Amino acid sequence: MAERRVTIGWAEGLHARPASIFVRAATAAGVPITIAKGDGTPVNAASMLAVLGLGAQGGEEVVLASDTDDAEVALDRLAKLVAEGLEELPETV
């Protein structure tokens, strides 16, 4: 299983707009990805309700993971998105 541990760069955490940006990027990745807060229970990263349900705040660590062999690039892109707190969905994600 591939995973990335990353600190949330959005000041407000994964709420509303940042969560929407993240979920769209996770969906566009084309591979199943999960997200967990710290060492908590992983949820589907492509589910807006699941991501909002994490209650992840800015500065907290999340774990992005995938069981697929070709997930490395997708995880790197999502990790960068979360860490930098990007306000727009990058075209490369």
Question: Model confidence over 54-64: pLDDT tens digits?
Answer: 999 999 999 99
Which is catalytic among the residues 3, 9, 15, 68?
15
Structure tokens at 9: 């760069």
Q: Is the pLDDT of residue 1 over 90?
A: no
Q: Is residue 93 part of a domain?
A: no
Whole-model pTM: value is: 0.90
Domains contained in the chain, number: 1
Q: Which stretch of DSSP H or E encloses residue 57? A: none
The boundaries of the domain holding residue 28 are 2-84
Q: Is residue 89 part of a domain?
A: no
String of b and e for 27-50 (b: at least 16 CB within 10 Å)?
ebbebebbbbbeeeebbbbbebeb
- Distance between CA atoms of residues 52 and 91, nearest Å: 23
Q: Is residue 15 part of a domain?
A: yes
Residue 72: closest CA among 30, 38, 43: 30
Q: Is residue 66 part of a domain?
A: yes
| Band (93; pLDDT cuts 50, 70, 90) | very low
Would you call 15 a catalytic residue per the annotation? Answer: yes
Beta bridge partners of 3: 65
CB 26 within 8 A of CB 54: no
In the predicted model, what is the mean pLDDT of residues 35-40? Answer: 93
Average pLDDT, the chain: 91
Q: Is the pLDDT of residue 91 over 90?
A: no
CATH of the domain at 50: 3.30.1340.10
Side-chain half-sphere of 92: how many Cα atoms within 13 Å? 10
